[in-house]
Structure 1
Amino acid sequence: MEWRPRHYIKVTDYASKSVIKVLPADSLLDAANLMIRFKIRHLPVTDTEGRVIGLIGIRDVADALLKKGRERLEEEKVVDWMNDQPVKVSEDVSLHKAVELMLETGVGSIVITDDMDVIKGILSEKDVVKFLSVVPSIEAVANVASPISTYVLAGSSVREVLELMMELWSKHLVMSREGKVVGVISMLDLVKKALEDGLSAPADDAVKRTEVLPPEAPISLAAAIMVSKNKEALLVGRKEPDSIVTEKNMVRGALEVLSKL
């Protein structure tokens, strides 16, 4: 891709064009299975003409799971759980502006539409990480990582961990066993586990071991590892990890990188 200054890098240069979407009458179970199958956390909701009317996310699915149980997900409709005010931008908006908007609004995805609200793409945190993976940067990963303040204990149930994630407004937590870090749990993997084995199943099986980067590692390296190994989060530390960097953290890093271009 031809390199251009930040104001000329359009959101469509890095957004996903082949968008997986759902209809308002689709079941929440169908939406959840699409997220799990394609390893994505947000699905635009459109009418039959392709116009965007909402956004359904993995957090919405987790909320329904906890309140209704997995047996009811097939009966629950997307329209009853979606966000009907998704953040939208036009195709000519710069990537810098879109990333800035993601941080200002706290959303994990921005929907790209034309003048008629017909969907043209979606920019997710994962897409922003892909941008960082191809842009040289000496910004240290420690500058965007978050200290690990809460640990999930081994043996916790899927319900317990999902409830904690909802309380902390987090999609990723670190599990420890006997004082040692085991790995990272994502909300997406927990939802998958809940659908397969129920909310009372142990969350341990959803834990994924991940790389531990030194604090001085550049965020471009962290992004490249995330993309190549399909990781939503990495750990940061020396002898023992003391921080975590998620795709959401990387959005902050992207704004810094874009501001310097």
Structure 2
Amino acid sequence: MNIEAPTESRTVDELMTRDLLVIAASESALMAWELMSKAGVHHLPVADDEGAFLGVLDAQTVAATWSASGPLHARRPVTELLPDRPPRAVRPDAPIPEAARAMLDAGADYVAVTNDAGGLVGLLTARDLVAALAGVHREAAPPSGGMPSMYRMEPVLPRQTPRRPDGGMPPD
């Protein structure tokens, strides 16, 4: 019989989410919202063009700073929504109570998990902690050793059909 250790005696590595969707720093707040909505996530790590971890954008921040004042506001870069202070982070081998304290100190429902070089290897969220406390076992993605997946989405526009000078449609 395999009895699992109590949550408070486990490490971050055992509970963290490794399979992350990451957004480029140059992307817009609108793109961040679209990615979060489509992927069903509440936290979106932000990386610069070289892949360096800059911080985490959460859905609450995007919603709280949203403005219907026009498209320019929605197109501002996601880096404008990141906090001015460096993101709180813990190492994968940190005990769960240390990570929980980091979340409380930061007033956040997540903490970034970084390696010794400061590279992002995962996120530990309040949801991860609640799942562990409830005894819910999630399939953890195996450690990849690399940067989480970063996606760049490009809009696909309908093909423009040329019109004749008289305004009619060209023959097929």
TM-score, length-normalised on structure 2? Answer: 0.68
Aligned residue for 2:77? 77
Deviation at 1:22, TM superposition (A): 1.0
Relative contact order (C-alpha < 8 Å, sep 6+): which is higher?
Answer: 2
- C-alpha contact 1:45 1:56 (8 A) present in aligned 2: yes
Task: State the match for 2:13 in structure 1.
Answer: 12
Partner residue in 1 for 2:66: 65
Match of 2:98 in 1: 97
- Distance in 1 (alpha carbons) for counterparts of 2:64 and 2:21: 21
Equivalent residues in 2 for 1:173-252, closer than 5 Å: none
Match for residue 37 of structure 1? 38
Paired with 1:18 and 1:127, the residues of 2 have a C-alpha distance of: 13
Q: Shift of the alpha carbon at 1:130?
A: 1.1
Q: Which residue of 2 aligns with 1:122?
A: 123
Q: Are 2:66 and 2:74, in contact at CA under 8 Å, matched by a contact in 1?
A: no
Alignment identity in percent?
24
Q: Name the CA distance, whole Å, in 2 between partners of 1:123 and 1:6.
A: 13
Which residue pairs with 1:48 in the alignment? 49
Do 1:28 and 1:75's aligned partners in 2 also have CA atoms closer than 8 Å? yes
Distance across 1 between alignment mates of 2:13 and 2:117: 17
TM-score using structure 1 length: 0.47
Contact 2:88 2:111 in 1 (8 A): yes
Cα distance in 1 between the residues matched to 2:12 and 2:19:
14
Structure with greater proportional helix content? 1
Q: Deviations over 1:20-63 (max 9, x none)?
A: 11111011111111111222222111123432112212232123
Moved over 4 A (4+): 5-8
Does the 8 Å CA contact 1:27/1:73 hold for their aligned counterparts? Answer: no
Q: Which runs of 5+ in 2 are unaligned?
A: 139-172
CA-atom RMSD in angstroms: 2.5
Q: What is the CA distance between 1:110 and its match in structure 2? A: 0.5
Q: Find the aligned partners of 1:91 and 1:103 in 2 and give their Cα distance.
A: 18
Alignment partner of 1:25 is 2:30: no
- The corresponding residue for 1:142 is none
Q: Which is richer in strand? A: 1
